[in-house]
Amino acid sequence: MIAHTAKSRLTSGLRVRCRTCCIWEREGTEGVSCSDRCMCWPMARGSTCRLVAPRHSTRCLLFDQQLARVCVLRQLVLSEGIGNAMEDNRHDAEPPSLHTCEGIDLRRWRFRCEGLARICEATAWSVEPDLVYQRMTDVVAEVLHCSQTHLHLITVDGDQFIKLAYHTSEQQQAFHESVLLSTTGRTQWMMRTHKPIVMDYEHPNCEDEIPPEAYESGLKSAVSIPLLAGDELVGMCSIVYETAVEWSEDGLAFLLQIGRVLGVAIQRIQITKKASELQILDERKRLSSEIHDNISQLVGSLSLSVAAVLASYEADDDDAVRADLERLETMSGKVMRILRDEMLSLRIPLEHTDGFITGIEDCLAHFESSWGIPVDFHRRTLSKSLVVSLQTSLQLTRILNECLSNTLKHADASHIVVTVEESNRCLTMTMEDDGHGFDPNTVPPERLGLKIMHERAAVVGGKLTIISDASGTTVCIDIPKNRLDGMRG
């Protein structure tokens, strides 16, 4: 009697269930293989999982335990979407026990947590935002097992969605445009309600605009997920399937959770990108001020030398003219070398990414070999490995270069000592010379060198102190330890 009832259900076109993935499918013949219907087939990869009627006592055979686990967990997240039938036709199956229901809920919850965790891992930071976008898109496609995934970012004015990345199988070709207008289909409704758009390509909503290529590629359904950061819409993620997928409220809620994870990640990337652009603009401003300041001084020195030559010539003093021309030649050569060093110093922090200490040592070695002024370097750190962010290393190296340049141009020093010292509280870099000191309070306001040095120290959360007298000048920069990694504002 039971066998007869089960067989009649199969032949009458009722839904049958795969005992591994708990999916119901409508089919008219008994024992349809997963390759035809069962949604766990993409993960089973050639196993003998089969759709069976409730009367069968055998379970699906999956030879790979890991694939079986992923198969079961994967389907549980969709079991209420594609699985509306699972709820609607539960009375067609053997009455499940309370223990079985709790197990299914637990596995569904576990799969969703694992899926969200994988997507969160995909948002890990990279210096190339495009790599992050592509990684997120690929992982979303793997977690939701869709044929295509398209990630779009909304423009500032909200009129367009710009494609950031997409994922598609080798058999499919991406058909979504690179730019989508916000007036396309039900996009405006999604922007107002922050709810996903569910599209059935075979029975589309009257407002949906289905690309012709979708039909040609055999695609059947899609969902456009709003990407939210708080209450702000930052983009849209579209997932496309080759089967007609039905989504329950619970399944759509899970998609919205994915959208929030992606939205927060994209917003973080955009904010970081803008902050980096502002830092670049500020750095360009400081560099232009430094170069203008230094060039002004050098050109002023050359102008004085030329004026001395003219004065000697008008006095008909040939010996003085010769001496002034020789000094002018020496000064011109010095100016050329200083300008060359200024240009080279801009590249040192970017070329030497193997460590802050190595960059300092190379900078000092270059200065000593170029100008013949002895430089002693002392390192007093608590550990062999001193972790300093690129931004902090950049600013400290710029300050050091400015100090060396000032010593060369103004102090007439014969010896320089540079010390890097690490304590439990801070990192301190000190530069001392034995040249002619100066009064920092008497420096003309149009001279920007000292002002920019203070700005550079402040950028990395540090403090710069200058002590100068007749015996020489000492410049000290203190940076708190919690600012060395560049992760705190």
Q: 116, 137, 171: which is the final residue of a domain?
A: 116
Look-up of token digits 């100066």: 438
Q: Residue 327: exposed, middle, or buried by beta-carbon count in 10 A (0-12, 13-18, 19+)?
A: middle
Same domain? For 361 and 472 the reply is yes
pLDDT tier at 346 (50, 70, 90 boundaries)? low
Residue 345, pLDDT score: 62
State the pLDDT confidence band at 109, using cuts at 50, 70 and 90: confident
Segment 354-369 shows an average pLDDT of 84
Is pLDDT larger for residue 456 or for residue 101?
A: 456
pLDDT value of position 195: 95
Q: What is the DSSP string of 179-238?
A: EEETTSTTHHHHHHH--PEEEESSS--TT----HHHHHTT--EEEEEEEEETTEEEEEEE
Least-confidence region, from 106-110, 188-192, 403-407, 455-459: 106-110
pLDDT of residue 37: 37
Confidence of residue 104 (pLDDT cuts 50, 70, 90): low
Say if 479 falls within a structural domain. yes
Does one domain contain both 393 and 465? yes
> What percentage of residues in the chain have a pLDDT greater than 90?
31
Q: Given a cut of 60, is residue 327 above it in pLDDT? A: yes
Per residue in 252-300, pLDDT tens? 999 999 999 999 999 999 888 888 788 777 777 777 766 666 677 677 7
Q: Are residue 63 and residue 134 in the same domain, yes or no?
A: no
* Domain hosting residue 25, numbered range: 2-116
152-161, 180-189, 344-353, 367-376, range with the lowest pLDDT: 344-353
On whether residue 142 sits in a domain, the answer given is: yes
Ramachandran area for residue 31 (φ above 0: left; ψ -120 to 50: alpha; else beta)? left
CATH number at residue 370: 3.30.565.10
Q: Is 305 helix (H, G, I), strand (E, B) or coil?
A: helix
Say which CATH number the domain at 232 has: 3.30.450.40
User: Which one is predicted more confidently, 327 or 261?
Assistant: 261
- Domain presence at residue 47: yes
- What secondary structure does DSSP assign to 340-379, as a single string? HHHHHHTTHHHH--S-HHHHHHHHHHHHHHHH---EEEEE
For 55-75, the DSSP string reads T-------S-HHHHHHHHHHH
Asked if residue 465 and residue 381 are part of one domain, the reply reads yes
pLDDT tier, 51 (very low <50, low <70, confident <90, very high otherwise): very low
Could you tell me the pLDDT band of residue 42, with boundaries at 50, 70 and 90?
A: very low
Total domains in the fold of the chain? 3
Mean pLDDT of the chain: 76
User: How much is the pLDDT for 11?
Assistant: 33
Checking if the pLDDT of 474 tops 90, the result is: yes
148, 23: one domain? no
pLDDT confidence bin for 77, thresholds 50/70/90: very low
Same-domain pairing of 416 and 452: yes
pLDDT at residue 351, as a whole number: 41
Tell which of 272, 306, 332 closes a domain.
Answer: 272
Lowest mean pLDDT among 248-252, 372-376, 446-450, 477-481: 446-450
354 and 486 inside one domain: yes
Q: Is residue 435 part of a domain?
A: yes
Check whether 454 has a pLDDT greater than 80: yes
Mean pLDDT, to the nearest integer, of 297-312? 81
369 inside domain: yes
Is residue 416 predicted with pLDDT exceeding 90?
yes
Q: Which of 136-150, 205-219, 333-347, 368-382 has the lowest mean pLDDT?
A: 333-347
Q: Is pLDDT at 140 greater than 90 in this prediction?
A: yes
Q: 6-15, 41-50, 92-101: which has the highest mean pLDDT? A: 92-101
**What pLDDT is recorded for position 415?**
95
144 lies in the same domain as 36: no
Q: Based on the fold, state whether residues 132 and 263 are members of the same structural domain.
A: yes
Last residue of a domain, one of 272, 291, 312: 272
Asked if 266 and 132 sit in the same domain, the reply is yes
- In a domain, residue 219? The reply is yes
Residue 478: pLDDT band with limits 50, 70, 90: very high
* pLDDT at position 62 over 90: no
Q: What integer pLDDT is reported at residue 429 of this predicted model?
A: 96
Quote the CA–CA distance of 199 and 148 in Å, as a whole number. 14
Q: Are residues 219 and 91 in the same domain?
A: no
Characterize 74-94 residue by residue with b for buried, 16 or more Cβ atoms within 10 angstroms of its Cβ, and e for exposed. Answer: bbbbbbbbbbbbbeebeebbe
Same domain, 8 and 49: yes
